Amino acid sequence: MIQNPGTWNITLTANVRFVRKYLAGMFLVICLIILSIFWGFHYKSTSLLKQQMLQQGRTFFQEVILTREWIANHGGVYVRLTPGMEVNPYLEQIPGLKVVIEDRDGVKYTLKNPALATREISQMADAKGSFRFKITSLGPLNPDNAPDPFERTALEIFEGGGKEHLAYEKRDDEVLFRYMAPLFTQKPCLRCHEFQGYREGDVRGGISVTIGATAMIGQMRQNQIFLSASALGVVALLFGIISFISRSFVKDLKHAEDKIVEIASKDFLTGLLNRREALLRIGEEHSRASRLDRPLSVIMIDIDHFKKINDAHGHAAGDEVLQVLSRRIQEGVRPFDIACRYGGEEFLVATPEAPLEVAHGIAERLRRAAEEQLLTAGDGTPIRFTISVGIAQLKGGESIEQLISRADAAMYEAKSSGRNRVRSE
């Protein structure tokens, strides 16, 4: 089956689209991989920073627990009652508990229970900008130890069996990390809290730890900006590389396919269209001429005594004759005429919009150009050649084959009548 001449352009366009789609798909896949890697880095670094804050909160919690246990195991701590220091009124409500004692010298001391001691230590840490912690419960003795919303939520979670609770809070321009874990009732705690109904092992409350997280959040954002910028930079670089490869590849592909089209459509020796491609184009002109009732003529050309030239001077000289005649044909026809090597030493020219008399003028011009051409063989022998030409104009309802056959018959008439002449059918 003869391929339509437009198929080459369609195929080329389809191949270019395929290459671009393939490279675009590859670019998207690589981008997804790169973005996944950078997202993984961001997630990992963020997780490490959050884990660091969590570990810090757990560490402070354990320190508070140890401090509290030490105080509880010793029944509380008595400190010298100095001016401005108040006796804890809530401890005075506990039966049998000595809240104030006096030594032999008459110096008075007041009892600091674990909750009060840890609260005062927390105030000292807060004043130094370190961290804050607080012992609280859903039913505290001291209203100052009442839970805030975060602590109340955590205590309710502990009542349900939760082991710890954490969150980030923003206060004014500061970001805080909040951590809280349950506080279990131990035997020393019953001295102050047994009357409230607590038993050993009960969740009596919890200890909340508050740590400034503004610097950590800032570092997370810096990491996010850096990783985002890096990812965009890598994607942009990759886009540039892919674009460069795409342009180069498409350019090479077009060049290669142009060469393939040229090889497929032209005669390798003469550079004229080959028979297959010429018939395709003549077929288009035939359809147009038949549809619009326009003239179309064909010219059939044959080199006279071509075999004698090959026998006398060699095939190289014969090839040169073919090449020279091809150049004269290209020079002698109109830009839109269709010229091809039809086979062997035969050439075919189709002349759209040319009635018989116009085609005859073109044919006569080609005949004279061939007659006047002088070549020199490899041994210095001059070579002259002539052509016999036949012409036919399209008739109504006539096929391409019939049109060419009539031109071929006219050419053989030119040969039989003495060669080097033009005949029309």
| Domain extent listing, the chain | 275-424
Higher-confidence position of 99 and 282? 282
Residue 1: pLDDT band (50, 70, 90) is very low
* Contact criterion met (CB below 8 Å) for 367 and 387: yes
Return the CATH number of the domain spanning residue range 275-424: 3.30.70.270
Mean pLDDT value across residues 80-91: 79
CA distance 381 to 379: 6
Tell me the whole-structure pTM to 2 decimals.
0.49
- Give the pLDDT confidence score for residue 350 in this predicted structure: 97
SS3 289: helix
SS3 301: strand
Instruction: Indicate whether 335 pLDDT > 90.
Output: yes
CA distance 371 to 366: 9
- Give the pLDDT confidence score for residue 202 in this predicted structure: 64
User: Edge-to-edge, what's the strand order for the sheet holding 203-212?
Assistant: 131-136, 203-212, 174-184, 165-171
Look at the block and give the residue holding tokens 């759209």.
352
